[in-house]
Structure 1
Amino acid sequence: MAQIKITLTKSPIGRLPAQRKTVTALGLGRLSSSVIKEESAGINGMVNKIAHLVTVEKV
């Protein structure tokens, strides 16, 4: 499968608790932190829920 790089570009402060939990579940902590994940249906769903907070690139 393909890999994607997820970078946190906006702060989750003041967002819904479910969105904040999704950010931490993906392994993102600070602004500009990045993780590389295997692209799957579960990861894509999580990214779609917080698409306004992150940027996604194909690796």
Structure 2
Amino acid sequence: MAEAMLKITQTGSPIGRKSDQRATLVALGLNKMHRSRVVADTPSNRGRVRKVQHLLKVEQAEGN
């Protein structure tokens, strides 16, 4: 069975945000506005997404 994946897109700027929120975006592989990454749907990634959910758009990734 294939692992579930999430497509995350940065929609908000990290300017003026706490350093831990900026570090979380980097950990997710995001560094510029409107860039997208596909990451594994794991509890650790879900926690990262939840921490900066106000700066992201999250979708289920289509296919592999």
Give the TM-score normalised by structure 2. 0.89
Partner Cα distance (1:27, 1:38) in 2: 12
Greater Rg over alpha carbons, structure:
2
Look up the match of 1:35: 37
Aligned residues: 59
Look up the match of 1:23: 25
Give the TM-score normalised by structure 1. 0.97
User: CA-atom RMSD, angstroms?
Assistant: 0.5
In the TM superposition, structure 1's runs of 4+ consecutive aligned residues that sit over 3 Å from their partners are: none
Percent of matched pairs sharing the same residue: 42
Following superposition, the deviation at residue 9 of structure 1 comes to: 0.2
Ranges in structure 2 where 5+ consecutive residues have no aligned partner: none
